[in-house]
Structures are given as structure tokens and as C-alpha cells.
Amino acid sequence: MSTIAPFDRYKGRGRIILGVPESGDGTCRHGYGPPVFDQCGRRCVYCGRDLFESYESWLDVSVDHVIPRSTQWYERKKPWIEDMFNLVTCCRACNEFLNQYPCPDSEPETVEDFIIVRDRAFEGKRKNALDRHAKERAVFERLLQTQGR
């Protein structure tokens, strides 16, 4: 399986354990987020929005666990799920769209297997986020038309 964006930018190309980022004040913008932004970049990995173009964009910055914390095997694989190699920069809209994203694979036994599951989940999440944006855009445009704008 080939490495996929955004993990190419990560130390070890996202194929090695990087450690859990310090929580700082507990927020993604001030605490655990900056180390993720350094690895991942400043754009939403799902929709491509530049999250550092303005103050308003900065307020929408978020960090997503590619393999979500809601995964049934979270407690057994917590160090991998909380590791920076499972965290990506995203916008709040995409993060909201992807809340409760199901992890379809069985529990991985090795870090290498976890990475395969993570990459598969990332691809599915990106498609899901782009589909949701298209639906929301259509609703927004219909609303504008009905209001004569």
C-alpha cells in the first residue's frame, strides 16, 4: 500500500510512532494542536481549506483522530489512537461531519496493521467529508435562491 497524504509530511512518513502531543491547555489551537500542525500542515486534510489564512479561519481549526476514539478497541490501542501519527489538521466542519465515523476493520495487532487501517479510514473519511460538503453546498445554494440572493 502506498503512503497517502497527509502522512508523507510526517516524521517517518507517518509510519512510525511519534508520541502523544502534550495537551497544554487542553485545546487544539493552544495545546496539543501546534505539534500536529507542524507535522500535518495548515490545511484541512479532508476538504483542503486553508486554516491559517485569517483569524476567522484559525477559529475553525481542529484536530481529528483518523481512527476515532469511539472505536470499540480504543482502550486496548489507546497509545496508537492518541499518537500524533493518527492525528490530522482539519476544519471544524469536516470534524463535525466525521464525528462517530465507524472504523470498519477489526482490531489491528501490530503498528503496521494499525497504519493500514488508519490509511483506509483516512481515505473513507476524506470521501465522506467531500460528499457532505457537496450536500451542504447544495442546501446553502438552494436557500440563497429561495431568498432571492
Q: Sign of torsion, CA 20 68 3 44?
A: negative
The reported pTM is 0.90
Distance of CA 100 to the CA centre of its chain: 12
Question: What confidence tens digit (pLDDT) does each residue in 10-26 have?
Answer: 999 999 999 999 887 77
- Give the whole-angstrom CA distance, residue 146 versus residue 52: 33
Q: Kindly list the domain boundaries of the chain, sorted by start residue.
A: 7-146
pLDDT in tens, 40-98: 999 999 999 999 999 999 999 999 999 999 898 999 999 999 999 999 999 999 999 99
Please identify which residue in the block is written with the cell numbers 467531500: 130
Distance of alpha carbon 60 from the chain centroid? 13
Q: Answer whether 10's CB lies under 8 Å from 18's CB.
A: yes
